[in-house]
Structures are given as C-alpha cells and as structure tokens.
Amino acid sequence: MVSVDRRFGSWNRIGTSTKFGASTLEASLAWGFEVDWDGDGVFDGSNETLRVCGLTTKRGRTSMLKSTGEGYESIPTGQAVITLWNDDGRYDAWNSASPLYPNVTRGKEVRIRVRDLTASSETIDNVFYGVITEILPMYGDRPKVNIYVDDGFSRLRNKARVALQTGITVDAAIGAVLDAVNWSTRWGRNLTVSGDTIPYFYGSGDRTAAEECESLANSFLGNFFIGADGSARYITRTTVAASVADFDQSEVSKDIRNPQPWENYRNVVQLKTHVRNSTGSALLYEQFGDAVAVLTTEPLIDFVSLTFNGNSVPALSLDTPVANVDYTINSAANGSGSDVSGSCTVTITRLGDRAKREIVNSSGSTAYVTSFQITGEAIYERNVSDVYYPRDPSTVADPSEFFMDLPWQQNVNTAVSFADLLGPFLAGQHPFPVVEVESNYSKQFPIELFDVVTFTSNKLGIGGRSFRVGAIEHASLDESLQRFKTSFYLEPYIASGDYGEFPFTWGTSTFGW
C-alpha cells in the first residue's frame, strides 16, 4: 500500500486550515490526534497521527438497567487507548532526548477527531476528548506505547458542595454543580434548558460531582453524559430528535446481540421521592465541649455542621450572630476572665449543610470562644414517599422490581406520573440490540450518545424501530486506521408529543417505536 499522510490540517498542523494534508485515493479517513503536551491550554496544531497504529474508545453504558433492578445503570468514565510507534522513545518519560521531555506525563489533554476524505463536505467529527491517565511503553520487536485517556467524568470525581438554591431548573442545578468543581470552560457544557423546577436544591459535599449530576438527571428522567467533544451534556426526558441514522440488517455484522427479554423486564416500579419544607426560624448549631482558642496572629476558620431534629440540613438563610447573645468570647478558657466579644469580628457563611465560621481576634491576646450558636432558616426533609406501579404491588404474582431513588424529585404527583409512565414500558417486551458496523463512516463517527437511530432486522423481527444510543465503542482493525469496527448498544425509549406532560394519558405514547 502506498504510504499515506493520514493527518489533517496544513501538512501536520491541525486547526490552521480546513484543508487536509497529502493523501492518496487509498486513504479515506484523515485523523487528528492532538495532545496539549506543554499544558498551556491550547492545541497548537501538532498532530501525532503518523505514529498512531491503533485506537479503541468506549463511551456510554452497555446496559440501561442495573442487574439488581436498582435504577438506571450509571454511565462510567469513557476511555480511549491510543497505540503509537515509539522507535525513538518519544513517549518515554525517562527519555530526556525526547522532543516532548519533560512533558510526557499524566494529566495532558487529548483531542481525537476524524474526517471522511471521500465526502464532499469538510466536516470534522469529534471522536474523543479527555486527559491522559497512563502512558505504558512496550519494548518488543518494535517499540510501541499505549496512551490511556479518560473523558471528562474523571474531572467530576471531586465532591460537590453547593449552597442551597430555591426554584432552580435542572439544567441550572447541574451547572451549579459543574461550577462547584471548577469545570473547565475549555471543555464546555451543553445543558438543555429544562422545564422542570426544583423547589430546593443543594450540594451536601457527600457525593461526587458526577453522582450529583446523575441524581439530578435521574430525578427527572433525563440523561447526563460527557460528549465526544468533551462537553458536559444534559438532555431532558422530552428531548427526542429525529433519527440521525437508519441501520439495516444488511449493513451491520451478522453477530447481532440482543439480551433475553427477562434481563430488562420489570413488572413493579417503585420510586422514592423526598419532600422538603422550611424549618422556619430555628437553632441550627450550638457549640459544646471545650472553649475554642482564637489567636491574635491568625483568624479562627472552621466549618460547622447545621442540624435540625438531629439531621443535617442546608441553610436557606443564617442570622448575623450577635455578641453576648449568640456567642461569648473570653480572655480565659474557663470563662473567668474578661469578656472580649466586642474586640472580635465574627462572620458566618452558609455552605449547603455546613457554615463557615471565621473569627478575627483583635483583643491583643489569645481569646476563647466559650459559647456559640447559629440560628436561621433551613430546609429539612419532611418525609420520604414511595410510589408504585401498580398501586398495590402485592397483587403481582411474580414481581420483578425496578426501584429508583429520586433525590431531587419533591412532587409526589409527578413521581406517580413517572411510575405510571415507566411501569407499562418496563413491563413490555422490548429489544435491546447491539449492532456492529464496519467501514461505514456516516453510520459510525457522526453519531453521539443518546442520539436516536432506527434499526431494521428481519432476523430479530425488528422493523424500522427507533432506539437511543446507550454506548459507542470504536476499534481500529488495521495499523493505518482506515478500517474501524463500531459497536452500538441500543436502548428502547419512551417518545411521544406529550411525553413528560402530566397527567399522563395512557395510550398516547409510543414505547421505543
């Protein structure tokens, strides 16, 4: 085969031109493998493609439901594995002669894109965006290296603490969580505006940002995921676009997989809702134990938990502490000295279910906080309500339950409508096909997670039915990266003009097709 320059851009540059570099008719795919080696936040056009000899990517969930029946399957961190020739040790962190030295390390951002050279358009499709998590050189007959890249879920592993918000939409709440963990503007966000409003939302800091975003999406039957372009994505339950691809049995591998019907069959639905109310003016914190010392050289800063009836609660508002009413500060630890409360400045800041307490001591000597309380208004979980489909699950002879906790669903009527919607759907016999496509660009790389596609298979008795794409896996079949196999894990979905509009009217929705 003629040697082919498979890079795109101006020669080996990407981003400086929409034109592609040298190629022959034997090449149909032009690739961009960009790494921000110097960490300056800019892809400068450098392209590693000429050294790439293998690529696999995995994004999305391969099963819609958890095998235990406890809710939807979480979307795991996506991963790409890039295999490159490493004859000169370019990708060995120990090699000081490498032109990349000392930047061959973890944490560098990677962007993978591709273009179809046979197409009349110059559209470039995103394949993967993430950060390097591992670099493993392999010194065999010919040196290679595997570079492992994780997508943006790896940036959402920190705990998210968000101050209490009222009357906030789901997309805005997810945005607040992303802000709390400093989600990069470079990665971007694409959050569909939601018509659902959450009466009270806060981030307790007990869950990771990924878990919090997932719980927000699940509470309103939406989906949160990381796009191929690296952006944080949220789509509502009513986001149902036109099909982006039509798959026919003749275009896919004969190895079509379809789980047995009982694997995704559920005939009882249980949804848990969390109704929250205001405490009104209440005591939320009281200091116990030994007096707390406050030096003159630095302020005392600590974080105290806010509770009501023995449970952690987020503050809606906090009263400004008043000296000798809400706190006393003395020159002696046992309170026998002089009252220096007036010589100290006290500030409290609400942070979800905690408050930041800061005390500056200007008395001239070490002082001691002998008593301290915080009052204000908080939001507490008044009760937890479970709703079922059917209403009396004891009437089901052979129950197979689907249970899902909806942490931010605070309307029981909405939860009942969700149960009425999910119950008949999950009790139906729906296919969950896994199809493989090879060397068919338009039906491989332009497709995104949760896009709608149609599939026809006489073998499975599926006639032009619509599915959402739950997971996408790409795998190169040759070292030139011209042949790829793509696996799509398809999920049936609920779609109709009134989907999500309540009360739900049975008989007007189309389940998956």
Mean pLDDT for each consecutive 10-residue tract of the chain (513 residues)?
47 32 56 96 93 97 93 96 96 95 96 92 93 94 96 95 93 97 95 94 92 97 97 91 89 88 92 94 95 96 94 94 96 96 95 93 96 96 92 92 96 94 90 93 95 89 89 96 96 59 33 32
Looking at residue 433, its pLDDT comes to 93
Number of H helices, E strands in the chain: 3, 29
Looking at residue 501, its pLDDT comes to 30
Before 390, cis peptide (omega within 30)?
yes
Go through 27-65 and write b for each residue having 16 or more CB atoms within 10 A of its CB, e for each that does not. Answer: bbbbbbbbbbbeeeeebebbbbbbbbbbbbbbbbbebbb
Looking at residue 507, its pLDDT comes to 33
Topology of domain 29-150 in CATH is: Thrombin, subunit H (2.40.10)
Q: Tell me the three state secondary structure of residue 343.
A: helix
d(CA 341, CA 328): 6
Residues in the chain: 513
Tokens of 151: 């997508």
Query: 48, 70, 231: which is closest to 135 by C-alpha?
Result: 48
d(CA 361, CA 291): 15
Would you say the C-alpha torsion 58, 62, 65, 68 has a positive or negative sign? Answer: negative
pTM above 0.85, yes or no: yes
Looking at residue 38, its pLDDT comes to 95
Looking at residue 499, its pLDDT comes to 33
User: Does residue 225 contact residue 450 with C-beta atoms inside 8 Å?
Assistant: yes
Q: Does domain 242-258+431-494 have CATH number 1.20.140?
A: no
Tokens of 331: 């020159």
Q: Which residues pair with 472 in a beta bridge?
A: 59, 488
Burial of 289 (0-12, 13-18, 19+ CB in 10 A): exposed
| Inter-CA distances, 390 with 271, 401, 417, 422, 512, Å | 12, 11, 12, 11, 21
d(CA 329, CA 437): 72
